A and B are shown apart, each in its own frame.
Chain A
Amino acid sequence: MYKDKIEEIKNELKDLFTNIKDKHTLENVKVEYMGKNGKITLLNGQIKEVPNEEKKEFGMAVNEIRTMFNDGYTKTLEEIETKEINEKLNSEAIDVTLPGTKLPVGSAHPIERIIETLENLLMSMGYDVVEGPEVEKDLYNFELLNLPKGHPARDAQDTFYIKGEEYLLRSQTSPVQVREMLKHEGKDPIRIICPGKTYRRDEDDATHSHQFTQMEGLLVDKNITLGDLKGTFEAVAKKLFGEARETRFRPSYYPFTEPSVEMDISCFNCNGKGCNICKGTGWITVGGAGMVNPIVLKNCGYDPSKWNGFAFGFGIERLAMLKYGINDIRVFYVNHDIKTLEQFDRREY
């Protein structure tokens, strides 16, 4: 008798879940079979009527159909939930091709970018970054740098003087070196770079600017050679213009260095073959340098028989123009279009 009943429920369970598509029906079915008065629950109560020797068999059979039901129920529930989530996801679809919301992020001025690149490299080589005033004394801008009054390179034509001739808008960042040497009173070694604004009486055009930016470096220590200057320059050149750059020195003249050199890099555009950028020479001049003139060391309180060193200087606008392919220096100062500035909001390797 109970065997027929078990067989009957088993048969029902085979197709029971096939057509159930929603949670509500599924729960009703659960009540019908597993509820308080459910068909399977009621089956349990019949164990009393089963002869002792068949009780074990009966128990196993009931367990089997209970498991059958639970498996079917769980599987169906998962199917229904998966279907529901998929429907919800589909209903949430948006047009992902519409533009994103632009977050305001500012960019560094190209001049500042070059300065920071140089600072990062040279600070890792032990150079401190110091600055000095733009309204400067003639004494520091010229006199102590071996440019006495009347020296052609300090022509009043070229410098913005202020009130008499004692003060001026500095025409180079070299006075910062003077100030630093005077501060150390000939006692300590010096390793500094000084980026900053400089001014000359130039008419503004594509390649001249009455305001421009220099970065000079000064190293005063013992037994320093021109080779050390070349090695330092090479590190800078490769950092700015790539590992493939070669460097060369050409003899030059600055009143504050002796010997003086022009610093060239192999052209990054043509790799030395000759092109428009290097004017066919394969080389591009990027700065001036030399061994600090003993006269300058002495003027600034350093004994040239004990100390020596080198100084170098770069025109930052020139470096930026070369690096970014800018052909008009006024781009840095006049009519800053945001579209221009935004081009520099990008990392570089």
Chain B
Amino acid sequence: MAISLKWINDYVKVDDVDKVELADKITKAGINIEKVTTTDIPNLVIGEILECEMHPDSDHLHVCKVNVGSETLQIVCGASNVRSGIKVIVALPGAILPGDFEIKKSTIRGVESNGMICALFELGLEEKTEETYNKGITELGSDAKVGENPLDYLGLNDTTYELDLNPNRTDCNNHIPFAYEVAAVLNREVKEPDISFKELDEDVNKLVKLKVDTENVSMYNLMIAKDVTIKESPDFIKQRLEVAGVRSINNVVDISNYVMLEYGQPLHFFDKDVVGDSIVVRMAKDNEKIVTLDKEERDLTKDDILITDGDTPLCVAGVMGGLNSGISDSTKNILIESAIFNPYNIRYTSIRLGLRSEASLRLEKPLSYEYSLKAIKRACHLLEKYADAKIVKGIVTYDKVDKTPKVVDVTLDEINSILGMVLTDEDVKNILTSLGFPYTLKNNTYAVTIPSRRQDILMQKEDIIEEVGRLYGYDHIKPTLPLITTKKGEYAEEVGYRKIISKRMRSLGFNELRTYTLVSEEEKDKYNYNFGKSIKLNRPMLQEKSYIRQSLLNSLVNIAKYNKSKKNNDVMLYEIANIYSEGEEEYLEDTKLAFVMSGDYLNNTWNNLKYKIDFYLIKGVVENLLDYLGLKDRYSLVLSDKLPNEIHPKINSEIIVGGSPVGYFGKLHPNVSKDDMYVGEISLTKLIKNKTGDVKYHELNKYPKVEKDLAFIVDNSIDSASMQKEIKRLGGKLLTEVKVFDIYKGDNIGEDKKSIAYNLTFEDYTRTLTEEEVMEIFNKIISGIETKFKASLRDK
């Protein structure tokens, strides 16, 4: 799809302007021109073949003497139709043909050749097909002047613009609306094409009855052209359709396309003699069928608009005609339809049937009723001129279009205050005039009438302001900052919380990741920890991305494994992301922190330094994080058998904060990873609910501390945390710290036993403790632990 500037020149004068500069101006005004192409090829001339002999060393090449005006050249040519006396297109040395093919002086099988005699397809001006290839070189008329430009002679010199339009301005894919844009930037006037024709005396309303039985049609026009002659289109129509990327069929079909490319209004031509004398437009019924002109049977739905003869479906409105009702070589009389349908129905139907065409794409957008009427008349004009048609008088119209003029009030102040520019009344008047928007100016207020061709403009002043701004040029905007209250921006609470945690994880050595939310069915419930039912997409693009994940860990573990496979052995990764599951009414959201670590935490081999990541390191990470968040002494980490199957049943901890579980960490189950890998996942949504206070400074103790060590031998099944808790309880407030400093297992203390050694710190902030009172507590602890855990004091 491209715009031909030669075609545009029919409506607004552009043959005197630089096409590249013009493209730049139009682009700046918001109609984005992606590519400017010109058909002009330097070093092409019209030549006359004076002599033509067989090549001495070939059975198909000819050696020609060609007069190119300034001289006579010897050129070797292989085309079957080459002969003396004809005028041809000669590419002289230096000409560059499509495909970067440069013509040079050469020797072909020992004979010098000084150029190339061309066919249009070799110049990129015709499609290369078997037919065009077999035609051989292009023969010019005898009136062609030797030495002149053959493209000028053929009328093929043109510049085209390829557009990349915003969705609200696809009207500019059509030549008349585009001409209005050209006129606006050049401040010139648009002359719309001739729509006049002679009318027969017969009244069209006698020949066809129209009934529209649906709300989804806002305008439906019918006219009749009689006695058409189906033949080849005139060259200018063929060439212009070619530029636009539309194949030429015959004069009648081409005219319907040509008019569409002028106004943007698709037309449909029925064979009047097949259709009969009645047209009924209605919604299709579910499961109703029609065979379209591509011979496919189509199932319809109640949202498809159908054109019928009152009985038989003739056409899926705006999308595709029926098999027998269209134009054929034997068509004599044409029923012309120009209609505006509900764009949503056209869009729905064309997408559902997979039949999106130039016509349906245009009908998916709001269309102008004025252009709908002009287009049908323009088609009649062209059919009379190029298909010998006789036009039946009148037009059959169904018309529900609200034609109240759209008038928008706007003041110069409003324009300047929204654009942040300084325009004068003179500027505004000039721009409105160049746009072709009628206006009146009263009491400093412009009352601007929006032409019906600009369906994109709504009844609000901002739309007019945008039109003025884009043509005045956004380069004129002076950068300023809003004159509003000064304040500092803040993070929303949960965002700030996440940032704090993210920074802490990084300072602890974890690299941040971002992975995909969508996962496969197989992955969707992996590591699912007390969440819910996974959400499935209605129409996933890929099976492996069809569910919203329930945990981030699967993605993280995969990346850790990927790194291991790349010999990046030491891996510490984290991600913070939301997971979702189905709730009773709304969807449930949970923000998760997930982390994985494997390999060595510290490693400097030559120095014998190595700390291999283990359970106690990931536990340290969790403790560090929770303490940092102000939750010290408010959480417990306990072995759990309720964790996901991917977690080692004996090497894990559930994280309990304020009495409720918020997450877990532990070693991966050997079934999941052969490498030792440690993972954790914490719900930040739950964690943030634990409010914490400000930091309060405590003066350090001025009085000496008393430290005591002791070790208990207990059963293996006793866990250290419960013993520590009991020691603390027994120690009371003078026991300020309890640390494990040794674990020992061995024959000398008995099988299934272990020794745990603690270091206890006693202190008082108001005085020096006496040995006696410390020993009293110390002994109380020993006897208390011995009783409660069936422990014995080691080395007693």
Q: Residues of A with Cβ closer than 8 Å to B? A: 98-109, 111-112, 119, 122-131, 133-135, 149-150, 152-153, 156-157, 160-165, 167, 169, 189, 191, 193, 197, 199, 201, 203, 210-211, 213, 219, 221-228, 230-235, 247-253, 258-261, 291, 293-295, 308, 332-333, 335-339, 341-342, 345
Contact = CB atoms under 8 A, between A and B. Distances in A.
Nearest to B578: A134
Interface string B427-466: 0000000000000000000000000000000101011011
A98 B605 CA distance: 11
Contact of B489 (A106, A122, A162, A253): A122
Interface stretch (B217-225, B264-272, B399-407, B479-487): B479-487
B602 interface: yes
A161 B502 contact: no
Given A248-B475, A336-B559, A126 B486 contact: yes
Given A105-B507, A106-B572, A112-B512, A135 B589 contact: yes
Contacts of B347: 150, 152
B511 interface: yes
A258 B460 CA distance: 10
Given A333-B515, A339-B568, A224 B482 contact: yes
Contact of B511 (A165, A227, A332, A341): A341
Interface string B495-525: 1000000100111111111111110000000
A345 B509 CA distance: 11
A225 B489 contact: no
A259 B512 contact: no
Interface stretch (B9-17, B415-423, B751-759): B415-423
A261 B516 CA distance: 31
A250 B28 contact: yes
Contacts of B502: 108, 112
A105 B516 contact: no
User: Among A162, A165, A199, A338, which residue has the most Cβ atoms of chain B within 10 A?
Assistant: A338
Given A104-B602, A226-B477, A259-B466, A335 B559 contact: yes
B168 interface: yes
State the majority secondary structure of interface residues on A: mixed
Contacts of B482: 219, 221, 224, 228, 231-232
B469 A107 contact: no
B479 A128 contact: no
* Most chain A beta-carbon contacts within 10 A, residue among B466, B485, B518, B606: B466
Interface of B is mostly: mixed
B353 to A, nearest CB: 14
B693 interface: no
Interface residues of B, number: 94
Nearest to A156: B539
A123 B587 contact: no
B589 A162 contact: no
Interface string B41-57: 00000000000000000
Given A134-B517, A259-B465, A106 B481 contact: no
B481 A105 contact: no
Contacts of A125: 481, 489
Contacts of B469: 226, 251, 259
B30 interface: yes
Report which residue of B347, B474, B486 has the largest number of chain A beta carbons within 10 angstroms of its beta carbon.
Answer: B474
Given A107-B506, A126-B487, A133-B587, A258 B466 contact: yes
B470 A308 contact: no
Contacts of B607: 98, 101
Contact of B537 (A109, A112, A162, A293): A162
Nearest to B577: A197
11 contacts: A98-B606, A99-B604, A135-B548, A153-B167, A160-B537, A203-B541, A211-B516, A233-B479, A258-B460, A258-B462, A294-B462
B609 A101 contact: yes
B343 interface: yes
Given A189-B484, A191-B489, A252-B30, A226 B418 contact: yes
Contact of A128 (B351, B489, B509, B535): B489
Interface string B332-344: 0000000000011
